[in-house]
Amino acid sequence: MNHSTSKTLNLTLKIWRQTGPDQPGALKTYTLTNISTDMSFLEMLDVLNEQLIAKGEEPVAFDHDCREGICGTCGVMINGQAHGPDNATTTCQLHMRKFNDGDTILIEPWRAKAFPIVRDLVVNRSAFDRIIQSGGYVSVNTGGAPDANAIPVPGHMQKDAMAAAACIGCGACVASCKNASAMLFVSAKVTHMANLPQGQAERSKRVLSMVATMDAEQFGNCSNTAECEAACPAGIKLSNIAQMNREYMKALLFSCE
Amino acid sequence: METGSARPKAGLIDWIGLRWFFLLLSSSIGQKFVMGVTGLLLCGFLVAHLAGNLLLFAGAKWFNDYAHKLHEQWEFLIVAETGLFVLFLAHIYLAFATTFGNAKAREEQYAVKQTKIKGRVIGANSWMFASGAVVLGFVLLHLTDLRLAADGINLRGFKYTDDAFGNTLMVLKNPISRAVYVIGSIVLGIHLSHGFASAFQSLGLNHPKYMPLIKIGGKVFAVVIAVGFASIALFAPEIWRGYVPVSH
C-alpha cells in the first residue's frame, strides 16, 4: 500500500457488526469523508462512532486503551491482516496515511474458537489470562533489584529474555495463524522466564502447565508458516516457538514433573 | 505454582507410568515432535530407497543383485518393514489429529485474509495434508504394483516374473503408471520442501548458526528426492527399451 499524498481521505468501511456473543453478525458498510491522513486508525473509528451516535445509531464496539502500542488491548483484522498492513505495529499505531483516497477498508474481529466475540470487534481474550495463570510467573518473591553482576546472566540470554518479554498479549499471532494457534504468545512467556535465573526452579512445571492450558483452551497447532511472526507488533520470533518445543520435550521426557 | 485444572486426575495411565507417552501423542507440541521425528526417519528411508533404485540406471544385473541380496536378509526386512509401517501409521494418524484440531480452532472464517509476509506465495506449508494425501495414495499404488506382487498378490493384472528389474520396467512402461509415478515424486518433493526444515523447528532444533543450512538443505533434499525418483520413472524405461525379462 503506497503512502497517500492527499491530506484527507474519503473511505468506504465494511465493519463486522454483532450485537452479542450468540447473535448472528454481518458486515455493514459505512462511508466516511474528509478523514485526515494524520489520524490514527482508532481515531478514524472514533470519528465514525461520533457520526453514528449523532444519527442515533449504535457505535462500533472496539477494544483500546493506551493508544501507544504497549498495552495490547487494541487489535482488529484490517483487510485480512492483523493490525493492518504495517509490520511491528499495533492497530492504534497505524496511521491513515497508509491508505489511499477512495479505499474500501474491511474490519473484522480476531477470529478463533478460543477468542469468542463479545460484541462487534471486541473479543474475549481471557484464554490468554488462564494460560498466564497456569504458570506465566515466578511463584516466589525474588526481592528487590540485586547488585549489578551479583547474578551473572550471559548477554545473549538477557537479550533473548528481554525480547520475549516484549510480548503485549494482543492476540495478533492467534488471529493471523491459519490454525488459530497461540504458540507464539505462549512461547514468548515460556522462554522469557526459562532464560533467566529466577525462572529456573519452576522451568519444567511452567512449560508443561502452560502448554496443557493452551491445548485445553482449544488453540490450534503450529504449521510453521511464520504468519504470527509477521503479524506480531512486538517482534516475537519463530525461534521462541522452537525453544518452547525444546523446553516442553525436555520437561516431558526428562523432568520429574 | 498451582497447576490446578491443567493437570488431570491421576488414573490408570499414571499407575502404569505412561502419562508422558500419552502427552507425547496428545499434546500439541508432543504431536508435532512425533510428526517431525517420524517424518525425518521416513526421509532416511527415502534416501536408502532412492540409492537402491538408482541402480535401475546401472542395469539389470546390478539392480537384481541388489534386490536379491536385500530380500535374502528376510529377518532384517521384517523388522525394517514393520518399523516403516509404524512410522507411516504414526505420521498419518498425527496428520489427521492435528488437521482436525486446527480446523476446530477457528470455526468462523475471515471474509478476507491476507499474508503479512512480503513476497509469500501460499506454498507447501499450507498444503501439507493435501500433498501428504497424494503421497499416501501414490505409496499405496506403488506397494500394489511392486511390493504385494512379490508376495504373490497381483491386484494390477501385470504379468510378473521373478526378474525384479523386468517387473519394475514393465510397471513403468504403462503410460498411466508412469505419469502417476512422476506426479507422485513431484508432490513428494513439495511435501518435503516444507516438511524437512519444519521438522527441525518442531523438534526445537532452531539455532541461528544452523537455520540457514537446514532451510536450504531442506529445499535441496526435496529437489534431489523428487528429481531422483521422477528421473527413474521418466528415463529408465527409455534407456532399457529393448530389455527382455529373464525368468529364472
Is the complex ipTM more than 0.90?
A: yes
Q: Which residue has the cell 480476531?
A: A110
pLDDT recorded at residue B156: 81
Residue A244 lies in a domain: yes
Residue B194 lies in a domain: yes
CATH assignment of the domain containing A172: 1.10.1060.10
pLDDT recorded at residue A5: 57
pLDDT recorded at residue B7: 62
pLDDT recorded at residue B94: 97
pTM assigned to the model: 0.93
pLDDT recorded at residue B244: 85
pLDDT recorded at residue A1: 54
Cβ-based contacts under 8 A for chains A and B: 160
pLDDT recorded at residue B248: 56
Q: How many CB atoms lie within 10 A of CB A113?
A: 17
| Integer Rg of chain A from CA | 20
Residue A60 lies in a domain: yes
Residue B19 lies in a domain: no
At A27, give phi and psi (nearest 5°).
-80, 135
Which residues from chain A sit within 8 angstroms of residue B113, using beta carbons? 77, 80
Burial B39-73 (b: 16+ CB within 10 A, else e): bbbbbeebeeebeebbbbeeebeebbebbeeeeee
Residue B101 lies in a domain: no
CB within 8 Å: B105 and A80:
no
Residue B197 lies in a domain: yes
Residue A173 lies in a domain: yes
Which residues from chain A sit within 8 angstroms of residue B204, using beta carbons? 242-249
pLDDT tens for residues A94-138? 999 999 999 999 999 999 999 999 999 999 999 999 999 999 999
Q: Which residue among A202, A230, A249 places its CB closest to the CB of B116? A: A230
Residue B61 lies in a domain: yes
**C-alpha–C-alpha distance, residues B32 and B26, integer Å:** 10
Using left for φ > 0, alpha for ψ between -120 and 50, and beta otherwise, residue A113 falls in: alpha
Structural domain count, chain A: 2
pLDDT < 50 positions in chain B: none
CA triplet A187, A135, A144: central angle to 5 degrees?
100
pLDDT < 50 positions in chain A: none
Structural domain count, chain B: 1
Residue type, A149: N
C-alpha cell at A114: 478460543
Residue A3 lies in a domain: no
pLDDT recorded at residue A151: 86
C-alpha cell at B152: 504373490
Same domain, A111 and A131: no
Residue A2 lies in a domain: no
Q: How many CB atoms lie within 10 A of CB B91?
A: 20
pLDDT tens for residues B168-188? 999 999 998 999 999 999 999
Residue B117 lies in a domain: no
**Residue from B7, B106, B131 whose CB has the most chain A CBs within 10 Å, to mutate:** B106
pLDDT recorded at residue B3: 57
In order of A2, A15, A18, A227, the CA distances from A79 in angstroms are: 15, 10, 18, 15
Residue B54 lies in a domain: yes
B113 vs A: CB within 8 A: yes
Residue A133 lies in a domain: yes
Same domain, A96 and A61: yes
- Among A231, A237, A227, A236, which residue's Cα sits nearest to residue A83? A231
**What's the domain range around B65?**
29-93+125-239
pLDDT recorded at residue A176: 97
**What's the domain range around A216?**
125-254
Q: Quick one: what percent of chain B has pLDDT higher than 70?
A: 96
Residue B174 lies in a domain: yes
Determine the distance from the C-alpha atom of residue A130 to the mean position of all C-alpha atoms in its chain, rounded to a whole number.
16
Domain end among A118, A146, A165: A118
Residue A236 lies in a domain: yes
Number of H helices, E strands in chain A: 8, 7
Which residues from chain A sit within 8 angstroms of residue B27, using beta carbons? 211-212, 215, 248, 252
Same domain, A247 and A172: yes
pLDDT recorded at residue A195: 96
Same domain, A231 and A130: yes
